[in-house]
Amino acid sequence: MRALSENKKAALLSVLLLVVGCLIWEMSIPAQKAVGELTEYELLTGGGQPKAGVPPPSQVLGKAWEQLSNPFYDAGPNDKGIGIQIGYSIYRVLTGYFLAALIAIPLGFLIGMSSVAYKALNPFIQVLRPISPLAWMPLALFVIQDSEASAIFVIFICSIWPMLINTAFGVAGVREDWVNVARTHELGPLKTAFTVILPAAAPTIVTGMRISIGIAWLVIVAAEMLVGGTGIGYYVWNEWNNLDLTSVIFSILMIGVVGMLLDSMFGLLQRAVAYTE
Amino acid sequence: MNILAGLSEPTSGVVKMDGFEVSGPSLDRGVVFQNYSLLPWLSALRNVTFGVAARFPQWGKARVIEHSTAFLAKVGLTGDAIHRKPSQLSGGMRQRVSIARAFANEPKLLLLDEPFGALDALTRGTIQEELIKVWSDTDQTVFMITHDIDEAILLADRILLMTNGPMAQVAENVEITIPRPRVRNDIVEHPNYYAIRNHLVHFLAQRSAELSGKADGPNSPETVRIDLTGEAGTDDPEPAPLLRAVEV
């Protein structure tokens, strides 16, 4: 054990925790049945019926194998592969997210560079920012009249704030010296923005983008539960209605995995734009 | 310094260069800042090409890189070092990059704002010599602010002495009568060296405080010429690097 590096020790411990956790989970299920005392939750989820209840990890693993070996099958509106459902969700998240970036980053630049713009827009930002994105849903559905576009709008409205605030903060914090370098080299405002201010503020901007993609992925699940039709959020809710808890647990895990992948993509981007002074 | 560079506006009066008023920052006036002001996300070479490309927009990429590499080599930066980021360079190397960036732009006037203030004495000596080397290849007019008397005598043709603030003003224009090329080790042997040095020390220690706050002082500073060698004056009209010694 002594010769193992820190990373290897950590990895070993992670695997150990996983195995122990799964074992406890697996063993706790028949025990609950044996007692026969079911909580209201278990009754509601079908715990009273034979073989129903929270599925053991082995069953979830089997489900995962079954789903992941054929992720893109399409057998009608209520029976699509997990790959298709996740694909829909990612498509919505990315569309809403990039629309938000398209507005938040230039607007953030403006707010960061002009204190008048900052003071003028700040009250609006402060009021709009704490609104739960799902609160916009009814209004979006009414105005846009399209559930798909409404879901995208909800993603748009929730991912715009961290990007806007971080961009403004990053741009306002660019060191005066670097701006002076641009000025003594007679760079125009646009050239200064792209060659000096953007790279200087990039780490803060990308941090905002990373926070935004995380929030967007949190919100899409809830939004799809509301709008229905397709997507991972709909899938979770649909499987709940089917009382297929194995699928529910499996899709929860998939939401986590996809969220982690999205976040680590931005982690890589963050590393690419980072610099040390 | 910021006013000379055009980065700040004077409260009153104007700065004129070649008969034209300075109305903002310009590529005609290159600046080397005390804190180097390199862009930390660019490599040393890219920091220099950044300036060269702005100065000579008509040049091709290869020519910009060639020109920049040449100036980096003049300050002793070659090989792998020019591809490193400023954070991976020592303070002395960063200031070298900053000097290379300013000289590579070939401005009409180069402004150095205490460029060696943050460096240790050994590094400072080396870079002073490199500065002389780069300068003698270009005969660039240089205006430099320094607190270091020896540095001023080594580098300057003229030293403008400032009184203490508030209302600090140029009190004297001391000509340095030590012939070039100057080498740190040899100029201390020159008969004029200590005469000039003593004059400067006396000024900084005593008279700069006495003269401070007197706004009614002489409008054009008195020229002081100390020459104990009795040689004919070196009145050659080459562009002289100006040097201002400021006591804080």
Which residue of B2, B33, B39 to mutate against A (max A Cβ within 10 Å)?
B39
Query: What sign for the dihedral angle of Cα B119, B121, B122, B124?
Result: positive
pLDDT digits (tens, 9 = 90+) for A163-175: 999 999 999 999 9
- In DSSP notation, chain A reads -TTS-HHHHHHHHHHHHHHHHHHHHHHHHHHHHHH----HHHHHTTTTSTT-SSPPHHHHHHHHHHHHHSTT-B-STT-B-HHHHHHHHHHHHHHHHHHHHHHHHHHHHHHHH-HHHHHHHHHHHHHHTTS-GGGGHHHHHHHH--HHHHHHHHHHHHHHHHHHHHHHHHHHTS-HHHHHHHHHTT--HHHHIIIIIHHHHHHHHHHHHHHHHHHHHHHHHHHHHHH-SSSHHHHHHHHHHTT-HHHHHHHHHHHHHHHHHHHHHHHHHHHHH----
Domain spans of chain B, in order of start: 1-7+26-126, 147-229+236-248
Contact A180 B37 (CB under 8 A): yes
Domain spans of chain A, in order of start: 83-273
| DSSP SS3 for B145 | strand
ipTM over 0.95: no
Contact B29 A184 (CB under 8 A): yes
**Closest approach of chain B CAs to the CA of A44, in angstroms?**
58
**Phi, psi at B30, each rounded to 5°:** -80, 145
Neighbouring C-alpha atoms within 13 Å toward the C-beta of A134: 11
What does the mean pLDDT of chain A come to?
A: 89
How many percent of chain A have pLDDT more than 90? 68
Q: What is the mean pLDDT of residues A117-122?
A: 92
The secondary element (H helix, E strand) that includes residue B142 is: strand B141-146
* Cα gap A211→A218, rounded to integer Å: 11
Least confidently predicted of A22-31, A34-43, A108-117, B106-115: A34-43
Contact (Cβ atoms closer than 8 angstroms) between residue A248 and residue A54: no
**The pLDDT of residue B233:** 39
CATH number of the domain located at residue range(s) A83-273 in this protein? 1.10.3720.10
**The pLDDT of residue B242:** 52
**The pLDDT of residue A96:** 96
**The pLDDT of residue B247:** 41
**The pLDDT of residue B68:** 94
- pTM exceeds cut of 0.80: yes
Amino acid at residue number B2: N
Which residue of A174, A183, A184, A205 to mutate against B (max B Cβ within 10 Å)?
A184
Residue A187 has pLDDT above 60, yes or no: yes
**The pLDDT of residue A211:** 96
Closest in B30, B39, B85 to A178, CB measured: B39
Could you say which residues of chain B have pLDDT below 50? 231-241, 245-248
* Cα gap A92→A85, rounded to integer Å: 11
Contact B87 A199 (CB under 8 A): no
Residue A147 has pLDDT above 70, yes or no: yes
Q: What is the mean pLDDT of residues A183-211?
A: 93
Closest in A184, A202, A275 to B25, CB measured: A184
CATH superfamily of B1-7+26-126: P-loop containing nucleotide triphosphate hydrolases (3.40.50.300)
